Structure 1
Amino acid sequence: MSLLVLAAVLLGAPGAQAAPVTVTNGSQFTDTSGALVHAHGGGMLKVGAYYYWFGENRNADDTFRAVSVYRSTDLKTWEFRNDVLTQSSAAELGRAKIERPKVIYNSSTGQYVMWMHKENGDDYAEARAAVATSSTVDGGYTYRGSFRPLGAHMSRDITLFKDDDGTAYMASAARENADLNVYRLTADYTGVASLVQTLWPGSYREAPAMFKRNGVYFLVTSAATSWQPNQQKYATATSVTGAWSGLTNVGDSTGYGSQTAYVLPVQGSQATSYLYLGDRWAGAWNRPVDESRYVWLPLSFPSATTMSMSWYPQVSVDTATGVVAGVGSGSAYESLVARHSGKCADVPSSAKDDGTAIKQYACNGGWNQQWSELDLGNGYVNLIARHSGKCLDISDASTADGAAAVQWTCNGGTNQQWQAQAVGGGYVRWVARHSGKCLDVVSASTADGAAVKQYPCTGVTNQQWLRRAA
């Protein structure tokens, strides 16, 4: 064995750089074992070559199960590492709600410090911050307790920010979400040293995420509308403790169906990009939090103090170079408009039940007429109803002519997979994978309430659909 080979064996070969990946928006991640990733409302921390993703892992009744942590080198391939905080970590966590865990590292104490929003398991009356620490990023965290900052301030949605000089800050929604307070943390990051300022009193902002770019501080927040998505806004400052600008809209009026969780700097050999990490909360369609999906979008900066965010169905991420870019086009949600009638594919009465038959009705902008396309990477998509989170489905996976199009819980079946085939004029026909048949308005009816079913594709206009941005 040569000396060069021996040295490589003894010292270890250098770690391979992560290859570029593509992340599909509106999807749920799975880890390397095939299990769903539960990192909702979470944050990320890079340690060495790995990004560690901490987030909420809830029970079916939305109470606290664990803070779970996963790691990845490429931001797509996630390895489950540990449930770093669980119901058994402390007596007060036995029945609780733990939301928006964020972790920073204190180089002076050698401790990883987690802050989170803590409530009892029944309501939101406690409005407390909670702290836990660990000597390893993905080991078990020791719960240090919960409290109201400075003994006086309510604390709900929460974020952490560590500045270049090591000073750490916590921002959280206060006074029944009417205010957003920014606090400076103690030197060990486990307590609140002082209230820096109250931002935009009475504006009802939550879901804060703070980051710094080229000396400018950005703070992204959402309005307080429970599980329903709303307009995300941002502000800037030249100092965390200084004057912050007024709030400016970013993205569309619903954050493309999501709420801010975190903004991740992706630093590589060519660039530092900033990636918006959002949650598309399943609570918006009355489902448990663990069924929520993720929306990740690249942020762009027209100037030093302005920011924009556009919709892309997919995002390309290259952690080696730091280049993050949107992939594809279209809208976060679209109405499906029948060519022959000008009417929309509709889930009647905004029903959320499995098996509700799809019909056509005059287009009215309702969420029960809006669909998101989830690219499955195989030439097909799921069409997901915005109001219910359920998939456009051919009932019972029937291959028969006239089988009903319905909504059903998304389950991966080929009867929920659709291919858009262009037919000219901006129209497509939707072809069901399991049957090869087309989505059809029965008898070419132009009436409200006409049924939508599958029939052999024939080129008729009642099988042609316009995808109209919602």
Structure 2
Amino acid sequence: MHRTLRSSLCAIAVATLIPLSACTSDAAPAGTHSASPSATTVNAPAVTPPNGTAFTDIYGSTIHAHGGGVLLHNGVYYWAGENRGVDDKFRAVSLYRSDDLVHWTFVSDILTQHSDPELAVATIERPKLMYNAATDTFVLWMHWENGTDYSQARVAVATSPRIDEPFTYQRSFRPLDFESRDLSVFTDADGTGYLVSATAANADLQIYRMDATYTGVDSVVARLWPGAFREAPAMFVRDGTYFLLTSGATGWTPNQAKYATATSPDGPWSDLRDVGNDTAFGSQAAFVLPVQGSSGTDYLYLGDRWAGAWGGLVNQSTYVWLDIEFPRSDEMTLVLSEALRIDARRGTIIPTDAGGRR
């Protein structure tokens, strides 16, 4: 999401029946967590914090993983996202781990403004983790800007042999010389990596096939909806149907989420269709996570409620997590609820007090 203050979100929180604590959350700088590497093992369904609130780790510290994504590795979920300081500048990509998607433990700041001179004053947004099984390497993709404006429109990449160790910053670049702003990544079942990002001053979306190392791109495989101004992409696959969820480009202010489907990341992709209400229930998509277990696979929408909409700092932003349902193989709906009951072992997500499906 590109950072123009447009309107207050507090009224939206009231309209969507989601708590207003997002309007008063305190910001916290990077490095203030209790740094225990152990995860909490929970053998029964657990309930997430209420939507629209600041999620906390098992020690009560605020989770700062804004615009982030979740990677399942060796049975553990890792949530990495953006962490800024009280001056609203980039401080770190913070990493958390969980066995059940509810009880989170802070692991470490895997990339910081001190990791490389190019990060000292940079703006880093929408970090996403990947695991390359062929090289046994973890790869972190990010949107990179110069810290002053949004004129650079680059991606940045960092790597590590272990997920819980500091990542080594590699470089920033424009993929195939195209601008890149809001981005996400996707790993297909055959191991092919994909980058999805907004380009052409946010007017277009493009899907790129990554190289074998997941640290660069080889080709553009799809150029989608030229001039539609879609951002915040989140791609996932369900039973052979690929879904691409996006938002409009309205600054911090939430807007109508839309999605499209295809039978391959290369397309052809369908026309865009609305999902959720006209503000995506006061959120913007960051990631969609398949939660696979013994009973099947449910899908988790991870969204941010950006504090910039009411003049707050990025670290005052809160989270909106929703269950996704599929009326047909190529249709999806977002289920609004106060919270979610998640059984990660069984692969089930049950909305608590569900308020609507759209």
Give 2:171's aligned residue. 145
SS at match of 1:290: helix
What residue ranges of structure 1 are gaps of 5+ in the alignment?
A: 1-14, 333-470
Give 1:62's aligned residue. 88
Q: Does 1:187 align with 2:212?
A: yes
Q: Measure the CA separation in 1 of the matches of 2:355 and 2:55.
A: 22
* Partner deviation per Cα, 1:379-413 (whole Å, 9 max, x = no partner): xxxxxxxxxxxxxxxxxxxxxxxxxxxxxxxxxxx
Q: Does 1:253 align with 2:284?
A: no
Q: TM-score of the superposition, structure 2-length normalised?
A: 0.87
Q: Measure the CA separation in 1 of the matches of 2:268 and 2:47.
A: 38
The question of whether the paired residues in 2 share the 8 Å contact of 1:208 and 1:220 is answered with yes
Give 2:259's aligned residue. 234
| One-letter amino acid of the structure 1 residue matched with residue 76 of structure 2 | Y
SS at match of 2:223: strand
Give 1:346's aligned residue. none
| One-letter amino acid of the structure 1 residue matched with residue 155 of structure 2 | A
Give 1:95's aligned residue. 121
Q: Measure the CA separation in 2 of the matches of 1:73 and 1:331.
A: 28
* 1:135 equivalent among 161, 170, 191: 161
Give 1:307's aligned residue. 332
> Superposition pairs for residues 274-293 of structure 1, below 5 Å?
274-293=299-318
Q: TM-score of the superposition, structure 1-length normalised?
A: 0.66
Give 2:52's aligned residue. 26
Give the RMSD, CA atoms, in angstroms: 1.4
CA displacement at 1:61 relative to structure 2: 3.1
| Identity fraction in percent | 55
Q: Measure the CA separation in 1 of the matches of 2:354 and 2:311.
A: 29
The question of whether the paired residues in 2 share the 8 Å contact of 1:117 and 1:157 is answered with yes
Q: How has the CA–CA distance of structure 1 residues 145 and 311 changed in structure 2, closer, same or farther, with 3 Å as cutoff?
A: same
| One-letter amino acid of the structure 2 residue matched with residue 113 of structure 1 | V
Give 2:23's aligned residue. none
The question of whether the paired residues in 1 share the 8 Å contact of 2:41 and 2:99 is answered with no
Equivalenced residues, count:
317
| One-letter amino acid of the structure 2 residue matched with residue 242 of structure 1 | G
The question of whether the paired residues in 2 share the 8 Å contact of 1:18 and 1:73 is answered with no
* Partner deviation per Cα, 1:269-306 (whole Å, 9 max, x = no partner): 10200010000000000000000110000000001100
> Superposition pairs for residues 96-135 of structure 1, below 5 Å?
96-135=122-161
CA displacement at 1:158 relative to structure 2: 0.5
Give 2:66's aligned residue. 40
SS at match of 2:79: strand
Q: Measure the CA separation in 2 of the matches of 1:18 and 1:235.
A: 36
| One-letter amino acid of the structure 1 residue matched with residue 332 of structure 2 | M
| One-letter amino acid of the structure 2 residue matched with residue 89 of structure 1 | S
Q: Does 1:157 align with 2:157?
A: no
> Superposition pairs for residues 71-470 of structure 1, below 5 Å?
71-150=97-176, 152-330=177-355
The question of whether the paired residues in 2 share the 8 Å contact of 1:62 and 1:97 is answered with no
Q: Measure the CA separation in 2 of the matches of 1:18 and 1:238.
A: 36
SS at match of 1:283: helix
Q: Measure the CA separation in 2 of the matches of 1:325 and 1:237.
A: 27
* Partner deviation per Cα, 1:392-437 (whole Å, 9 max, x = no partner): xxxxxxxxxxxxxxxxxxxxxxxxxxxxxxxxxxxxxxxxxxxxxx
The question of whether the paired residues in 2 share the 8 Å contact of 1:17 and 1:320 is answered with no
Question: Which consecutive segments of 4 or more residues in structure 1 shift more than 6 A?
Answer: none
The question of whether the paired residues in 1 share the 8 Å contact of 2:89 and 2:123 is answered with yes
CA displacement at 1:252 relative to structure 2: 0.4
Residues 236-245 or 29-38, more deviating: 29-38
Structure (1 or 2) with the larger CA radius of gyration: 1
Q: How has the CA–CA distance of structure 1 residues 193 and 178 changed in structure 2, closer, same or farther, with 3 Å as cutoff?
A: same
Q: Measure the CA separation in 2 of the matches of 1:157 and 1:16.
A: 34
The question of whether the paired residues in 1 share the 8 Å contact of 2:297 and 2:348 is answered with yes
The question of whether the paired residues in 2 share the 8 Å contact of 1:18 and 1:319 is answered with no
CA displacement at 1:92 relative to structure 2: 1.0
* Partner deviation per Cα, 1:69-106 (whole Å, 9 max, x = no partner): 00011111110001000011110110111000111111
| One-letter amino acid of the structure 2 residue matched with residue 221 of structure 1 | T
SS at match of 2:163: coil
Q: Measure the CA separation in 2 of the matches of 1:57 and 1:114.
A: 15
